[in-house]
Amino acid sequence: MLIGYARVSTAEQNPAHQIDALHRAGVGTDDVHVDHASGAKASRPQLDLVLQLLRAGDTLVITRLDRLGRSVLHLVTLGAQLRERGIGLRVVEQGIDTSTVEGRAMFGMLSVLAELQRELIVANTRDGLAAARARGRNGGRRPKLTVAQAVHAQQLYDGREHTVAQIAALLGVPRTTVYGHLNRALAAVPSTGASTGSVPVAAVPRSGRAQ
């Protein structure tokens, strides 16, 4: 049995070209399933349904490899799973058919490329962390406000003469960065019920004060 799968990136795109190609490849109208999802999107309900419907001896038909996998690694993983289940894969426009020696060889080459991609990602990450340590930084996201900027932002805000937007513009950071600092500073102040000194003003937007 032939089961076809097509994908377009948005609801506005027309999958008719893919559907027509699947029909010419012998897939029946009721056996074509279409997802509207971007290439990197994990949720593909129709693909999930297709993988449930496929049985040993069936063939999954697509127009191009990029319609099926989110990445080379995902594509190779799917191909391996299909082979283990005794399911064929036919890629119409790229002439790949895993029921043939040539088709299996193509997927073998994709496996090598996927492994190379994984190793390059690991190597680049390792090199980036080493460069950061050489500059005196550990891994993780770099703070958007320096200590001096954070103190300055708090002083400006407590003085009640500058809005958050003005403070952000002065420091060259987004307003959300200033809000994040002020809210963390407020959360760090112990709640004793009595005023014992300067207490940060709540950073959340409130009526009557410009942001």
| More confident call, 164 vs 144 | 164
**For 18-43, what is each residue's pLDDT tens digit?**
999 999 999 999 999 999 887 665 67
Of 58-62, 88-92, 100-104, which one has max mean pLDDT?
Answer: 58-62
How confident is the model over 121-129, as a mean pLDDT?
74
> Per-residue pLDDT for 206 more than 60?
no
> Under a CB-based contact definition with an 8 Å cutoff, are residues 41 and 74 in contact?
no
Amino acid 147: pLDDT: 81
The residue behind tokens 């000194």 is: 197
pLDDT digits (tens, 9 = 90+) for 62-78: 998 888 877 777 777 88
Sign, CA dihedral 65-68-72-77, equals negative
**Residue 9 phi, psi dihedral angles, 5° rounding:** -75, -35
Q: What is the mean pLDDT of residues 122-136?
A: 72
Give pLDDT tens digits for 1-23: 999 999 988 766 889 999 999 99
* Average confidence (pLDDT) over 110-137: 70
pLDDT at 202: 46
Q: Which residues are catalytic?
A: 9
Give CA–CA dist 8/34, Å, rounded.
8
Spatial contact of 199 and 189, defined as CB atoms under 8 Å apart: yes
Cβ neighbours for 11, distance < 8 A, ≥ 6 positions apart = 36
Residue bearing the bigger pLDDT, 195 or 141: 141
Q: CA-CA distance, 51 to 84, in Å (whole number)?
A: 13
Q: Which of 97-101, 105-109, 126-130 has the highest mean pLDDT?
A: 97-101
Mean pLDDT across 74-102 = 86
Give SS3 for 7. Answer: strand
